[in-house]
Amino acid sequence: MPEFEKLSRDEVNKILMAKEKGRGLSQRERILRAYMEQLEGLDVGEGLEIKLEKSDNRQTVKNRLLRAADRLGMEIEFIRSRNVIRLYRTK
């Protein structure tokens, strides 16, 4: 059976503060911000062409682009293509 030890509020706060100091952005947040940086410079009517690497999942990249656009308050649409992802800003 495991050994249990009660922690005081001060001990819990110290642990939480140390954890917050050492923790940066999550991997998911870092990836999302990288996608946002790529979309930020787009004006309405401008677009991007994204060449995928073999390890990239097409649908995952599109979902991340949509999420990044949503966070930036913009709308994008995808242009159907086979080997690359093409998109343009609509709003």
Instruction: Name every residue whose Cβ is closer than 8 Å to that of residue 47 and which is 6 or more positions away in sequence.
Output: 79, 86, 87, 88, 89
Domain limits at 62?
Answer: 26-89
Per-residue pLDDT, 25: 67
First to last CA, the chain: 59
Residue corresponding to tokens 């870092």: 30
Per-residue pLDDT, 1: 67
Domain count, the chain: 1
- Show the tokens assigned to 42: 């787009």
Tell me whether residue 38 is in a domain.
Answer: yes
Per-residue pLDDT, 64: 93
Tell me whether residue 20 is in a domain.
Answer: no
Write out residues in the chain with pLDDT < 50, as ranges.
none
Per-residue pLDDT, 2: 67
Alpha carbon 21 to chain centroid, angstroms: 21
67 touches 29 (CB < 8 A): no
